[in-house]
Structure 1
Amino acid sequence: MGTEQIRRWESGALAHAVSDPFAQGPLPWLRASEHYFDDHSGQLVPWYVDLAPTGGSDATEPLIPPPRRPGPRTADDVHQQIKGFASAGAVAPGESIDFRVTVNPPQPFGVDVYRIGHYAGDGASKITTSPRLSGIVQPAPLAAERTVSCHHWWLSWRLQVPTYWNSGCYVAVLTTDDGHRSHIPFTVRDHHPADLLLLLPDVTWQAYNLYPEDGRTGASLYHAWDDDGRLLGEEEAAVAVAFDRPYAGAGLPLHVGHAYDFIRWAERYGYDLAYADARDLHAGRVDPTRYRGLVFPGHDEYWSAPMRRNAELARDAGTSLVFLSANTMYWQVDLAPSVTGEPDRILHCRKRQGSGRPQLWREQGDPEQELMGIQYAGRVPEPSPLVVRNASHWLWEATGAAEGDELPGLVAGEADRYYPRTPLPRHSERILLAHSPYDDAGGARRHQETSLYRAPSGALVFASGTFAWSPALDRPEHANPVVQRATANLLDRICKRD
């Protein structure tokens, strides 16, 4: 197929079948002008929903029509109306962060910087706006053995982060004069003491990034394109991906909403949070032992050896660990400098390619269960109930949950469980708090489990074992009061060091 035929549902997040089963939560820049009317239903359709043809000239659903009124439209990777990336995943107040942006056709553009949070339910607050900037068409991405990089793009805007900015998860929203829009996420970390350190899974985000989704050049650790524009599978995907490139599509990483869900909920209830990303943990830019707990809020599948070592050192020093997703720490990865020498800008993971064992932690002799208490079991094709177990435990206190209660849809996306033949971590207490049957894609009966143990240091280690836990905290139509209270019970204990 030619590049003009590439549609978003034929590539990227939907194509590699590891899709987020939930929509993004409410964010102010995605409202109103980012919604389209479906002429057949008359209903508003969010920007992230694509209605694909179902086959046959008479058996198609209509494509989303253009907006009825002028307003921002999401940029794509074929036309590159506006796309960009940041020079770093995380910066500290007082440091600067560079944005490299391509604009086609060349025209002025602006950048609005938002901080993710509760903000009376808005989901984010605008913090600053750039001056009017000159947009240019940057050189084409460079590709070498499926590794795509835009490190050679010219600097478009340098943001000096004021010392008074709060640590947090930020999004730079890029908008052209003719109304196209894209996004660049980044983190502002801080070294001030806090109860909880939230770690954004930017390593996993990059592993899934198929930029550019143009039917020719883009590649992730899951996919690449052949010469005819067909999407290839994992056995022919990249084994190294660069951070020096935009995220595909709208510029927001796959599963980023899971982190946003936790942030909105936690800030709404006043938890004392500091922020960093996975590469900060890898490089030792944060001291995880300074916090009462580390929170891993979203899909966090790719871990380097230093990431794991630092998490284990924190646990053994008394810092609790909270894993709010599933399929965590599955693949072992390495981080290397870019061609310009910038550290930790290339992600390596050969997966199952080449000789030797796959680069799975469990295949390398260090199963993830030895840290988390459970480990990855498989995909969940249809959301299933999470079944409460050991309801008398303090985690379920004041939730109203009784033994065997089913929480609808709370086992979704992917699931973890306890493997009896795999070693457990050293512990003084251990309990399973959910045991939930579900059917896999082949119709076989499987089960999910939620785990909690106390390490000899006194640290608690919680693993939800499902993708659906973070969305159940604050996402419209997915929020669940039982999960909200259970999570509060957990974090309150950690923050009080009970």
Structure 2
Amino acid sequence: MGTEQIRRWESGALAHAVSDPFGQGPLPWLRGSENYFDDTGHVVPWYADPALGHGSTDGGTRTADDVHRQIKGFISTGAAAPGEAIDFHVTVDPPQQFSVDIYRIGHYGGDGAAQITTSPRLAGIVQPAPLTADRTVSCHHWWQSWRLQIPTYWSIGAYVAVLTTMNGYRSHIPFTVRDDQPADLLLVLPDITWQAYNLYPEDGRTGASLYHAWDEQGCLLGEEDAAVTVSFDRPYAGAGLPLHVGHAYDFIRWAERYGYDLAYADTRDLHAGRVDPARYRGLVFPGHDEYWSVPMRRTVESARDGGTSLVFLSANTMYWQVSLSPSPSGVPDRLLTCRKRRGPGKPALWREIDRPEQQLLGIQYAGRVPDPHPLVVRNAEHWLWEATGAGEGDELDGLVAGEADRYFPRTALPEHESRILLAHSPYLDSEGVKRHQETSVYRAPSGAIVFASGTFAWSPALDRPGHVDPRIQRATANLLDRICKRD
């Protein structure tokens, strides 16, 4: 294996490039595409500025990687509540002291995050190599490095732990602080989909996701050779932040800036029955949320039927059906399984088991969008477009990107009191075939509003530098204000 081949994995930079989004430099804003490997197995930079992924050049902090494992870690729980504890499992090579800075994502005057606390200096050790079995990679045998006792006065929200070694290497661990208090809106962070894409360790040897794995020569293999089961007991690849995490952070910064009353949960909370939808006026799914279990769908359909509105701000939602199972030590919901189209048994696509996602969303996944295209406004007199300045047929530049949904006429719609399509946007797929994207809203018999943006680019248009669109900001406010029944 030549040096050239290894170098593309050294920082994890081109697949998961992050310098330091919390102080030392700007957050490297994502491109719209999920295609971070090309057909030859070479990593394609999907951050707008690939140089941002290579860490500091002035002697400051540098991004850890999955080859040298300068510092990598994970937490042994999902979301936790104030008063509970989170256990960190961290490996440091070479062994040395490290610290953990805890940040909360929010608007914070435009900074995007605020530092909440810092750990004492901690002793770092080289943890054992990850265990692998049938492409499933797990670090459940790593020793505990630190326990964070969450004070009862901490705000609920999306948090990031920033791990830094004494010699300046840095990695990240995202986590959620949740509670059961009623709120206008429950923000659901897609941790199940984040894990499905996690290729840790991205080292050219042992890492595997539900999409990729490596062969003995260090070449990247495709979906047919990828993992069937992946573990939450491992770090995220590269810099330690999941693919597409920025979509959720874009929404959070915008929503907190404008004072929306938010609660927080992970998709595993939905799965495990820890979410009571009756406590909220609406459930918001801010980012790419592709992998859903049966209990997740059951809970969300029950929410809609009980009058709780649903807001889907991405595309390709609820595409694959998955199951969750305990870790080897018996901790619930630490293993994620999706057979996709391999082996015996029923298909894993919701639409192939006669439960197409359109029956919940109102539209469903149509395909990838290789290059950004305009979102073309339809039915501009609708209340969603009110006071946005968007007129019939107006083109919102770059707002159809990454992946797109549309209405499938031969697929049954959900029961509805009213329904309307608010965009109809032509684009070219990877074969140059003309296709179209659509944005949908319907009102269920319960009175619940169900909105689906049908594009990856909606959340970034709320608060991502270079992508902000005031018309999308106002349309989203119109939607949430109606759900929250604001005057």
Counterpart of 1:59 in structure 2 is none
Matched, 1:100 2:89: yes
Deviations 1:389-428 (A, max 9, x none): 0000000000000000000000000000000000000000
Q: Does 1:124 align with 2:118?
A: no
Per the TM alignment, residue 87 of structure 1 is displaced from its structure 2 partner at its CA by 1.1
Alpha-carbon distance change, 13 to 78 in structure 1, aligned in 2, over 3 angstroms: closer
Deviations 1:245-272, CA, capped at 9 Å, x for gaps: 0000000000000000000000000000
Secondary structure of residue in 1 paired with 2:237? coil
Tell me if 1:376 matches 2:365: yes
Amino acid at match of 1:93: P
* 2:5 corresponds to: 5
Q: Deviations over 1:407-455 (max 9, x none)?
A: 0000000000000000000000000000000000000000000000000
- 1:205: which partner in 2? 194
Give, in whole Å, the separation in 2 of the partners of 1:473 and 1:326.
Answer: 16
Equivalent residue for 1:352, pick from 341, 345, 363: 341
Identity %: 77
**Equivalent in the alignment of 2:485:** 496
The 3-state SS of whatever aligns with 1:91 is: coil
Q: 2:180 aligns with which of 168, 175, 191?
A: 191
1:64-213 alignment to 2 at 5 Å? 67-213=56-202
| Matched residue type, 1:438 | Y
Residue equivalent to 2:353: 364
Partner of 1:267: 256
Aligned pair count reads 472
Instruction: Give yes or no for contact 1:147–1:238 (8 Å, CA) kept in 2.
Output: yes
Cα 1:467–1:225, aligned 2, differ >3 Å: closer, same or farther?
A: same
Q: Residue type of the partner of 1:29?
A: G
Give the CA RMSD over aligned residues. 2.4
Change (3 A) 1:453 1:33: closer
How many Å separate the matches in 2 of 1:261 and 1:122?
12
TM-score, normalised to structure 2, is 0.93
Shift of 1:192: 1.3
Instruction: Mark the runs of 5 or more structure 2 residues left unpaired by the alignment.
Output: 30-44
1:220-259 to 2 correspondences below 5 Å: 220-259=209-248
Distance 1:278 1:32, change over 3 A: closer
Counterparts in 2 of 1:259-408, with a 5 A limit? Answer: 259-408=248-397
**How far has the Cα of 1:288 moved from its partner?**
1.6
CA distance in 1, matches of 2:336, 2:398: 34
Which SS does the other structure have where 1:166 is aligned? coil
Quote the Cα distance in structure 1 between the aligned partners of 2:53 and 2:288. Answer: 29
Whichever residue aligns with residue 128 of structure 2, its letter is P
* Equivalent residue for 1:458, pick from 436, 444, 447: 447
**What per-residue deviation string (whole Å, max 9, x for no partner) do you get for residues 75-123 of structure 1?**
0000000000011120011000000000000000000000000000000
Change (3 A) 1:64 1:333: closer
Q: State how far apart, in whole Å, the 1-side matches of 2:400 and 2:46 are.
A: 25
1:418 maps to a residue whose letter is: Y
Judging changes above 3 Å, is the alpha-carbon distance between structure 1 residues 214 and 9 closer, same or farther for their aligned structure 2 residues?
closer
Hey, what's the Cα distance between the residues in 2 that align with 1:248 and 1:49?
A: 19
- 3-state SS, counterpart of residue 174 of structure 2: strand
Q: What corresponds to 1:415 in structure 2?
A: 404
Contact 1:86 1:100 in 2 (8 A): yes
Q: Which residue of 1 aligns with 2:36?
A: none
Give me the whole-angstrom Cα distance separating, in 2, the residues matched to 1:450 and 1:46. 25
Instruction: Give me the whole-angstrom Cα distance separating, in 1, the residues matched to 2:456 and 2:27.
Output: 30
Task: Check the 8 A contact 1:389/1:433 in 2, yes or no.
Answer: yes
Q: Alpha-carbon deviation of 1:29?
A: 3.3
Q: Distance in 1 between matches of 2:326 and 2:22?
A: 36
Q: Which moved more, 1:63-72 or 1:173-182?
A: 63-72
Amino acid in structure 2 at the alignment position of 1:5: Q
SS in 2 for 1:280: helix
Q: CA deviation at 1:47?
A: 9.0
Call closer, same or farther: CA 1:270–1:415 in 2, change over 3 Å: same
Amino acid corresponding to residue 63 of structure 2 in structure 1? T
Match of 2:429 among 436, 440, 456: 440
CA distance in 2, matches of 1:420, 1:260: 34
Residue 3 of structure 1 deviates from its aligned partner by 7.9
CA distance in 2, matches of 1:379, 1:387: 17
Asked if the contact 1:13–1:254 (Cα under 8 Å) also holds between the matched residues in 2, the reply is no
**Counterpart in 1 of 2:476?**
487
Given residue 447 of structure 1, which amino acid in structure 2 is its aligned partner? Answer: H
In 2, are the aligned partners of 1:34 and 1:46 still within 8 Å (CA)?
no
Q: Which one of 23, 27, 30 corresponds to residue 29 of structure 1?
A: 23
Query: Relative to structure 2, which stretch is displaced further, 181-190 or 3-12?
Result: 3-12
